[in-house]
C-alpha cells in the first residue's frame, strides 16, 4: 500500500509533472530530428524516460526528482490506464485470430515465468546466494504485462522482505522495451530487405503528421458553453478511481478483520484489476445504452494514450541503477533467454496456426510480449501502415482474453511469499505450478484449435 500513502507536497507533484512533461517534449524533438530514433521507431516516451534517467540523480544529477515518487506515479497511472481501457466500447466478436492470440499471450507469460524463475533459482543456489529468486518471476510481469504491473506487484513484496521488487520490475520493463524496439525493428528491416514489406510512411518514422494528414482524434459530445468535454471524460475516470480506492480499502478492512493483514499489500497491488472491472461495469450497466452515448471513443483513446505515455516515462525514471547493476549478470541472462524463447515460440506458433498475416501477427505479438500493446501496435504499423489487416484489432481484443486466462498466473506469482515465506522450496513448487498450468492451457488451446472454424471460413 506504500504507493497510496507516499507523502509528498503539491509542489512536489507539480514540479515532477513539469520535469516529465519537459522530457516528453525533448523526446518528441529527438524523435523528429535524430535518424537513429527514427530508424528503430523508438517512442518519444521511451526516449524521454531514458533521458530523464541519464540526467537524473543516479547518473549526472542535473535534474531533481525522486525515483521513489516516479514509482508511485507508475502505480497510479497503471490504474488510470486500465480505467480508460475499461471505458472503451467492447467488441462482441471474438474471431479465430483473437482467441488464438489470447492463448498465445498467456502461454508466453508462463514460459517467461518458468524460464525466469528457473534461472534465478539456479543462480541463487549455485553462485549468488543473496539473489532473491523472485527476480525471475518479474520477467513475465516486466516483459509481457508491462512496467506498471511489474512495479505494482513487485513493490507489494516489500512487506515480505524483498524491498527492491518494484524497482526491479521497472528495470525488467525497460529491458523489455529495448528488446521490443531494437530487436523488433531488426526483424522488420530484415523482412523489408526480403521484399515482404511496403514503404514506411514518413510520419511513422518522424512521429509528426503533415498539416494535410491529420485525422480526427476526438469529437465534442458536450456543448462547450456548458462544460469542456475533456473535463467530463477526465472526471469520469477520476470518479471511477475514487470507487477503486473505496472498494480496495473496504476489502483491506475485511482482510484485517479476518486476521489476514499480511495479505493487504498484495491486495493493493491488484488495484488496477479492480479499476478495470469498475470501469467495465460503469460502461455497460451504469452508462449503458443512451445513458452513455456521450462517451466519445476518440476522447477515451486520447486519454488512454496520454496516461500510457506518462506511465512509460516515469517507469524508466523510477529505475534504481544501483540495484540493477549489482545483479546485472543474472538479470541480463534471464532477459536474454526469456527473449530468445519468446521469439522462437511465437515464430513457431504463428507459422503453425495462421495461414495469413503470419509476419504481422508475429511481430505484433513479439513486441507486445516484450514491451506493451503500444509496442506491438507501433511495430505492426510499420508492416501495415493503414491497419488494413485484422491484426491491430486482434492484438487489442486478445489482451482481454489474456487478462482473464492470465489471472491465475498473477495469483501463482505471489505464492512463494504468501504461502512459503520466500523459501527456495516454495519457489520450486511455484515453478511446477506454472508448468502444470502451461500444460493445462496448451491442452485447452489445442482442443479449441481442433474444433474451431478455420481462418478461411470466418
Q: What are the pLDDT digits (tens) for 353-394?
A: 998 888 989 999 999 999 877 788 778 877 776 667 788 778
Residues 413-438: tens digit of each pLDDT? 889 988 888 889 999 999 999 999 99
- pLDDT on residue 1: 46
Give a yes or no: residue 395 inside a domain: yes
- How many whole angstroms separate alpha carbon 58 and alpha carbon 333? 24
Residues 133-192: tens digit of each pLDDT? 999 999 999 998 888 888 888 888 888 888 888 888 889 988 998 999 889 888 888 887
Residue 27 DSSP SS3: helix
Residues 269-311: tens digit of each pLDDT? 778 888 988 998 998 888 887 788 898 988 998 998 899 889 8
- pLDDT on residue 337: 96
Give a yes or no: residue 214 inside a domain: no
Q: Which triple of cell numbers denotes residue 3?
A: 504507493
Q: Which triple of cell numbers denotes residue 287?
A: 452508462
Buried residues in 40-57 as b, exposed as e (16+ CB within 10 A): bbbbbbbbbbbbbbebbe
| Alpha-carbon radius of gyration of the chain | 22
Angle at 3 between CA 2 and CA 9, to 5 degrees: 110
Q: Pick from 256-260, 290-294, 383-387, 444-448 the range whose average pLDDT is largest.
A: 444-448
Binning pLDDT at 50, 70 and 90, where does residue 455 land? low
**pLDDT(94) > 60:** no
Neighbour tally for 262: CB within 10 Å: 13
- How many whole angstroms separate alpha carbon 131 and alpha carbon 422? 12
Q: Which triple of cell numbers denotes residue 394?
A: 486482434
pTM here is 0.82
Taken as a whole, the chain contains a residue count of 458
Mean pLDDT of 106-124: 95
Closest CA to 433 of 444, 422, 425: 425
- pLDDT on residue 69: 86
Give a yes or no: residue 355 inside a domain: yes
Q: Which triple of cell numbers denotes residue 70?
A: 516516479
Give a yes or no: residue 219 inside a domain: no
Mean pLDDT of 29-45: 88
**pLDDT(93) > 60:** no
Give a yes or no: residue 458 inside a domain: no
Alpha-carbon 170 to chain mean position: 11
Sign of CA dihedral 135, 136, 137, 141: positive
**CB-based contact 380:392 (threshold 8 Å):** yes
Query: 55 lies in which domain range?
Result: 2-205+232-452
**CB-based contact 69:8 (threshold 8 Å):** yes
Residues 8-21: tens digit of each pLDDT? 888 889 999 999 99
**pLDDT(66) > 90:** no
**pLDDT(333) > 90:** yes
Binning pLDDT at 50, 70 and 90, where does residue 440 land? very high
- How many whole angstroms separate alpha carbon 108 and alpha carbon 139? 11
Sign of CA dihedral 328, 169, 148, 345: positive
**CB-based contact 394:98 (threshold 8 Å):** yes
Closest CA to 113 of 153, 71, 76, 82: 153
Please indicate whether residue 437 or residue 89 has the higher confidence score (pLDDT). 437
Q: Which triple of cell numbers denotes residue 220?
A: 465534442
Domain count, the chain: 1
Percent of the chain past pLDDT 70, that is, above it, reads 94
Give a yes or no: residue 211 inside a domain: no
Give a yes or no: residue 224 inside a domain: no
Closest CA to 68 of 107, 118, 12, 120: 12
**pLDDT(411) > 70:** yes
Binning pLDDT at 50, 70 and 90, where does residue 61 land? confident
Give a yes or no: residue 220 inside a domain: no
Closest CA to 316 of 96, 105, 134, 150: 150
**pLDDT(458) > 70:** no
Residues 202-229: tens digit of each pLDDT? 777 787 888 888 888 888 888 888 999 9
Amino acid at each position: 500500500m506504500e504507493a497510496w500513502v507516499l507523502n509528498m507536497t503539491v509542489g512536489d507533484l507539480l514540479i515532477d509533472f513539469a520535469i516529465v512533461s519537459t522530457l516528453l517534449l525533448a523526446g518528441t524533438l529527438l524523435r523528429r530530428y535524430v535518424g537513429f530514433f527514427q530508424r528503430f521507431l523508438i517512442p518519444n516516451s521511451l526516449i524521454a524516460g531514458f533521458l530523464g534517467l541519464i540526467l537524473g540523480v543516479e547518473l549526472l544529477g542535473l535534474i531533481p526528482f525522486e525515483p521513489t515518487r516516479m514509482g508511485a506515479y507508475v502505480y497510479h497511472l497503471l490504474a488510470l490506464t486500465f480505467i480508460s481501457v475499461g471505458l472503451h466500447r467492447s467488441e462482441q466478436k471474438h474471431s479465430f485470430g483473437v482467441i488464438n492470440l489470447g492463448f498465445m499471450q498467456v502461454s508466453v507469460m508462463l514460459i517467461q515465468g518458468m524460464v525466469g524463475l528457473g534461472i534465478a533459482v539456479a543462480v541463487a543456489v549455485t553462485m549468488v546466494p543473496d539473489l532473491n529468486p523472485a527476480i525471475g518471476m518479474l520477467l513475465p510481469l516486466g516483459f509481457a504485462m508491462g512496467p506498471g504491473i511489474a512495479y505494482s506487484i513487485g513493490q507489494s513484496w516489500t512487506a515480505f522482505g524483498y524491498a527492491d521488487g518494484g524497482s526491479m520490475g521497472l528495470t525488467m520493463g525497460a529491458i523489455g522495451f529495448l528488446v521490443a524496439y531494437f530487436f523488433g525493428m531488426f526483424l522488420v528491416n530484415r523482412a523489408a530487405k526480403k521484399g515482404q514489406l511496403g514503404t514506411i510512411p514518413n510520419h511513422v518514422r518522424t512521429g509528426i503528421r503533415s498539416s494535410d494528414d491529420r485525422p480526427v482524434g476526438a469529437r465534442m459530445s458536450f456543448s462547450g458553453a456548458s462544460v469542456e468535454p475533456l473535463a467530463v471524460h477526465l472526471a469520469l475516470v477520476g470518479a471511477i478511481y475514487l470507487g477503486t480506492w473505496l472498494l480496495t480499502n473496504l476489502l483491506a478492512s475485511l482482510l484485517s478483520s479476518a486476521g489476514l493483514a499480511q495479505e493487504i499489500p498484495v491486495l493493493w497491488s491488484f488495484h488496477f484489476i479492480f479499476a478495470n472491472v469498475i470501469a467495465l461495469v460503469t460502461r455497460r450497466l451504469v452508462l449503458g445504452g443512451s445513458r452513455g452515448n456521450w462517451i466519445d471513443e476518440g476522447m477515451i483513446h486520447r486519454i488512454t494514450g496520454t496516461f500510457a505515455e506518462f506511465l512509460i516515462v516515469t517507469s524508466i525514471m523510477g529505475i534504481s541503477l544501483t540495484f540493477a547493476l549489482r545483479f546485472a549478470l543474472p538479470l541480463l541472462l534471464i532477459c536474454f533467454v526469456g527473449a530468445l524463447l519468446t521469439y522462437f515460440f511465437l515464430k513457431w506458433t504463428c507459422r503453425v496456426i495462421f495461414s495469413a498475416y503470419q509476419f504481422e501477427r508475429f511481430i505484433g505479438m513479439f513486441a507486445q510480449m516484450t514491451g506493451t500493446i503500444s509496442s506491438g501496435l507501433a511495430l505492426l504499423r510499420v508492416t501495415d501502415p493503414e491497419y488494413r489487416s485484422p491484426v491491430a484489432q486482434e492484438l487489442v481484443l486478445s489482451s482481454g482474453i489474456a487478462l482473464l486466462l492470465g489471472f491465475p498466473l498473477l495469483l501463482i506469482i505471489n505464492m512463494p511469499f504468501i504461502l512459503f515465506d520466500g523459501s527456495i522450496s516454495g519457489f520450486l513448487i511455484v515453478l511446477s505450478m506454472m508448468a502444470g498450468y502451461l500444460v493445462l492451457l496448451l491442452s485447452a488451446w489445442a482442443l479449441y484449435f481442433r474444433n474451431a472454424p478455420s481462418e478461411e471460413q470466418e
